[in-house]
Each structure stands twice: as structure tokens, then as C-alpha cells.
Amino acid sequence: MSRWTAFIIIGVLFRMRVISGTARGTRLTDLGETEIRPTLDRVKESFFNQVGPNLVGLNFLDLFAGTGSMGIEALSRGADKVVFVEHNSQAQSLIFQNLKKCRMTVDDNQMGRWELIKFDALRGLSVLDEKGFLFDLVYVDPPFGENLYQSCLSLLSDSDVLKEEAWVIVEHFHKNELRESYGRLKSFKDRRLGDSCLSFFKIEP
């Protein structure tokens, strides 16, 4: 077993929970041995410390949603609307299972707060743009080895899915250095957390 495989399995088995809000403490369904890398609790906690613990009134986009951990955390913290974009059928099933565990499928009101887009991230962004979605926060967490940062950030910059004061936050391997800008999106801060890094972008004229 490689170091990275061990890291993935440990992260899935011991770090998959909702940290705060209405679903606080709920253990999320794990993926077993898989290539899908979950966001660790310390990265998730740092993210929400930066964007604010209360997301009431905000729309949240979870690209490369995986198990749905980040989007579910946003719902738990009061986000008005969360959109999950995920093309992997196993992960799509797990997102629904985790929403169900967090009692986010119990009635029409809860169901209306989230949507699952079953496309890859780039096609999903185009669909959201066509439908007129607008987001306050966008979380971008592609597989570290696939180098999709430029294509995603450039498409986000060119799209109309970002509100004027939106933040786009990218989780990436700390050795994968991102550019200072991608079109209208400009970097304004970074946070290093072990092997992961969170890079924050916002629109500048």
C-alpha cells in the first residue's frame, strides 16, 4: 500500500463528519478504498473559519463534490442553496445517502435547498451558467494529479455564475502552485494545511 493510498483510507474512515450546524456530529457514509480523496476535517474547519461559520442567505457551489462533505457542511451551517457537481455515479449515490443521514431529504423545503448536477465540473459549470445560477461561494477541489485548476478557474472567470463579491476557494496540493490571476479572478490569500493548501480568489475589475 502506498503512502497516498493509506492517507486516503485513513481520511475516509476517521475524518468524515459534519463539524457544525444543524447536522453537527453526523458521521458521513465513507467510500472505502477509492481514488476519491475526501476533504479532511482540519481543511474543512479552516475553510469555514475563513468564509464565516454562518452561511445563511448564501448560495454555495461544491465542484468535484465527491461524498458531498463540503456542500453538506454548508447546508448544515444555513446556506440557502447548495449545488453539488459530480460525475462519478458511486459518489452521486453517496451524496444522496449523506444528505439522507443529515435529514436533508425529509421534506420539500429541505430538498429545495440542494441540487445534484450529474456532469463533470466543466460541463456542470456550463449547465449552471445556462440555467442562470448565481453563487456567493465556490469550492473547487479537483483530483490533485489531473491539473484541472486552470480550466476550471478560467471557465469560472468567463461565466456568469459568480456574484459580484463571490469568493472562489481552491483546495490543492501545496506543491501545485496556482497563478495569481485567472481572467477576472485574482488571488488574495492562501492557507497551508499540511500537504493541502487553500487558495482564495475573488473578482477584480
What Å distances lie between residue 20 and 15, 24, 26, 49, 123, CA to CA? 14, 4, 9, 11, 31
Q: What pLDDT score does 11 carry?
A: 37
Identify the bridge partners of residue 181 per DSSP, sorted by sequence position.
186
Rg (CA), the chain: 16
Digits of tens for pLDDT over the chain (205 positions)? 333 333 333 333 345 789 999 999 999 987 665 555 567 778 888 999 999 888 999 999 999 999 999 999 999 999 999 999 999 999 999 999 999 999 999 999 899 999 999 999 999 999 999 999 999 999 999 987 778 999 999 999 999 999 999 999 999 988 888 999 999 999 999 999 888 899 999 998 7
The answer to whether the beta carbons of residues 151 and 73 sit under 8 Å apart is: no
Q: What pLDDT score does 14 carry?
A: 41
φ and ψ at residue 199, rounded to 5 degrees: -115, 130
The answer to whether the beta carbons of residues 36 and 112 sit under 8 Å apart is: no
Contacts of 45 (CB under 8 A, 6+ apart): 19
Q: What pLDDT score does 38 carry?
A: 64
Q: What pLDDT score does 54 carry?
A: 87
CA 33-35-40 angle, to 5 degrees, is 85
Q: What pLDDT score does 138 carry?
A: 98
Strands 196-203 and 185-193: antiparallel
CA distance 140 to 178: 13
